[in-house]
Amino acid sequence: MKTRSSNDLPNDITALKQLVLAQGSQLLEHQQGQAVYQKALSEKQARIQFLEEQIILFKHRQFGHSSEKNTQQVELFDEAEVEVSLSAPDVAQAVEPGQAPATKKAKSGRKPLPQNLPRVRVEHDVVDSDKVCACGCQKSCIGEETSEQLDIIPAVIQVLVHARLKYACKDCESGITIAALPPQPIPKSNASAGLLAHIATAKYQDGLPLYRMEAIFKRLNIHLPRNTQANWMIKGAQLLQPLYNLLNDHLLDSGYVHMDETRVQVLKEPDKLARSLSYMWVRRTGDPNLGDPRQTVVLFDYRASRSASVVDELLGDYQGYLQTDDYVGYHKTGLREGITHLGCMAHARRKFIEAQKVAPSAKGKVSKADMAVSLIKGLYQIESVIKDENPNQRMLVRQEKSVPQLAKLRKWLDKSLIHTPPKSKAGAAMAYLHKNWAKLAAYTKDGRLNIDNNPVENAIRPFAIGRKNWMFSNSQEGAKASAMLYSIIETAKANGLEPYAYLKLLFTKLPSCETVEDVEELLPWNALKLSTQ
């Protein structure tokens, strides 16, 4: 703005007024321009910070360790308020200041081999000359020393020859009678229940793709193409449908369901490109009684989309607790009357850990992300102490210890939220915590509830590992079969059953089932009871 000398100023009062107004207008325009410039600069700086954080986080995900543990994190909240007091009734263990919950240290060294394995005795004797003493007398055997080695025999493949005896009358040479063939899992197929169970366990439990199994069978001089195996898995999954229906009824009646979803690629889907994504939806019952058997159900369901309508379809008229992450597809169902929507504290913690990774604090300094992670750690310390207590005791301890700890976290959040850039990783983590606060704190109101959604995420992990190996499903039928078999295997594991043995039992018994009661006897907890009798 050009400065005028006193000689340049007009002597007329009206002209002076106009000059002052013009300069005021220029000053206002200049200030407005500066404000726009400062706003643009701030937005660019926030964008630069966001991109820098994304780059750091991408590098960490690509090259860093995957654990959420931060070795540089300052331990802030190991004080007595985070601990469970010894005076709390029925709590046998407490956390001392500055210490983690006491756990039994596992013994190091070689563990003994299982006693249920068959033993094959291999004797090693000395030569006859060594059985004669130097004095000339014959030595007597006074005992033995034994050691054990673990041995393995490759899979034994055999052919089951079903011989159906035939009877006829020799006098009239008519009236031929032949023994009936028991119902088979796949009629007119040469696949036994054991073979179907083996292929299903190898793929869906051990993550072995069908083309690798084809090569394994080929080494044994058996021609078993992958497309034949895939068709068997589809037909075997169809046989399991009645059992799945009962498991689904049990889950919807449980009153407490964890839910999550993960991507899956299906090559042949109507109106979709081969590279587009579909989803595997996973539901798991909570542990309302913390007893054995828990009658836990884990169900996988394939759907072509991630739409909120899928949640309504899978839950139907379900009433009770629903625990999920903050994906928007769950929001509408979570607001439905009769449903209490719970959040996942692990997701909230994970966002602050990401903030720690992109902006690590200097040595001796405490960042906002450090504060949040330490406060949340206090909540998990309480859970680690009471995890084996009954629901009533868990409820009492949470009210006494967890609620005050949550109040500390809330107070810190309210103070820090307004001073943190919203587009930074720390700001985004705080916004997530603030937005979901009611759902994240709701677990303290019932001792049956979990602090996070990890039970269902752990159930998804075998699927995610297998997906790295087989990568995609060829068809919708294959994806549905995968969902069915993952459901049965993960439910069996959750109830203490060995997957192969349980699948073989199902493929053997289900073809003969005629009533609902027959199928109910094959539910995992009923099969477990039968195996222990």
Average pLDDT over residues 6-32: 77
* Single-letter code of the amino acid located at 162: H
Please indicate, yes or no, if residue 269 is contained in any of the structural domains.
Answer: yes
Q: Tens digit of pLDDT for each residue in 195-213?
A: 999 999 999 998 888 999 9
Whether residue 399 sits in one domain with residue 302? no
What are the DSSP calls for 262-294, one per residue? Answer: EEEEEEE-TTS-TTSEEEEEEEEE--SS--SS-
Give the residue from 385, 417, 452 where a domain finishes. Answer: 452
| 379 & 258 share domain | no
Q: What is the pLDDT of residue 500?
A: 94
Burial 155-189 (b: 16+ CB within 10 A, else e): eeeeeeeeeeeeeeeeeeeeeeeeeeeeebbbeee
- Quick check: is 132 in a domain? no
Q: Among the listed ranges 29-33, 149-153, 206-210, 389-393, which one has the minimum average pLDDT value?
A: 29-33
Whether 356 and 433 share a structural domain: yes
- String of b and e for 401-413 (b: at least 16 CB within 10 Å)? bbeebbeebeebb
C-alpha 486, offset from chain centre: 13
Are residues 530 and 384 part of one domain?
no
- Kindly state whether residue 146 falls inside one of the protein's structural domains: no
Question: Which residues have a Cβ under 8 Å from the Cβ of 439 and sit 6 or more positions away?
Answer: 334, 341, 342, 343
Show which of 452, 470, 487 is a domain's final residue.
452
- Give the span between the Cα atoms of 310 and 183, in whole angstroms: 36
Label residue 389 by pLDDT band (50, 70, 90). Answer: confident
Name the strand (E) or helix (H) holding 437: helix 437-441
Is 155's pLDDT higher than 80?
no
- What pLDDT, in 10s, does the model give residues 309-327? 999 999 999 999 999 999 9
Here the tokens at position 57 are: 């986080």
Q: From 452, 483, 506, give the residue that closes a domain.
A: 452
Q: Distances in Å between the alpha carbon of 158 and those of 155, 191, 199, 202, 223?
A: 10, 12, 15, 18, 14
Query: For residue 98, is it within any domain?
Result: no
Assess if residue 401 is contained within a domain: yes
**Same-domain check for residues 199 and 259:** yes
Residues 364 and 251 in one domain: no
Same domain, 285 and 303: yes
**SS3 annotation, 489-507:** HHHHHHCCCCHHHHHHHHH
441-480 confidence digits (pLDDT tens): 999 999 999 999 999 999 888 888 777 666 667 678 888 9
In a domain, residue 320? The reply is: yes
Average confidence score pLDDT of the chain: 82
The predicted structure's pLDDT at residue 73: 47
Model confidence pLDDT, tens digit, residues 57-67: 666 656 655 55
Task: Find residue 303's DSSP bridge partners.
Answer: 279
Cβ burial of 191 (10 Å; 0-12, 13-18, 19+) is buried
423 and 397 in a single domain? The answer is yes
- Cα 285 from chain centroid (whole Å): 13
Structural domain that includes position 335: 185-343+455-533
Q: How far apart are CA 212 and CA 223, in angstroms?
A: 13
Number of domains in the chain: 3
- The torsion angle over the Cα atoms of residues 332, 334, 338 and 342, rounded to 10 degrees, is -170
Structure tokens at 440: 């994240």
Structure-block tokens of residue 36: 């726009």
| 278, 348: one domain | no
Backbone phi and psi for residue 411, each to the nearest 5 degrees, phi listed first: -65, -45
Q: Please say if the pLDDT value at position 412 is more than 70.
A: yes
Burial 310-331 (b: 16+ CB within 10 A, else e): bbeebbeebebbbbbbeeebbe
- 234 and 321 in one domain? yes
Task: Please indicate, yes or no, if residue 172 is contained in any of the structural domains.
Answer: no
- Whether 169 is covered by a domain: the verdict is no
Q: What is the pLDDT of residue 23?
A: 80
pLDDT of 354 > 70? The answer is yes
* 307 vs 224: CA distance, rounded Å: 39
Instruction: Tell me: do 388 and 446 sit in the same domain.
Output: yes
Same domain, 465 and 488: yes
Q: Is 491 within 8 Å of 524 (Cβ atoms)?
A: yes
Nearest CA to 426 out of 364, 362, 348, 365 is that of 348
Give 418-440 pLDDT, tens digit per residue. Answer: 888 887 888 899 999 999 999 99
Which candidate, 285, 306, 360, places its Cα nearest to that of 73?
A: 360
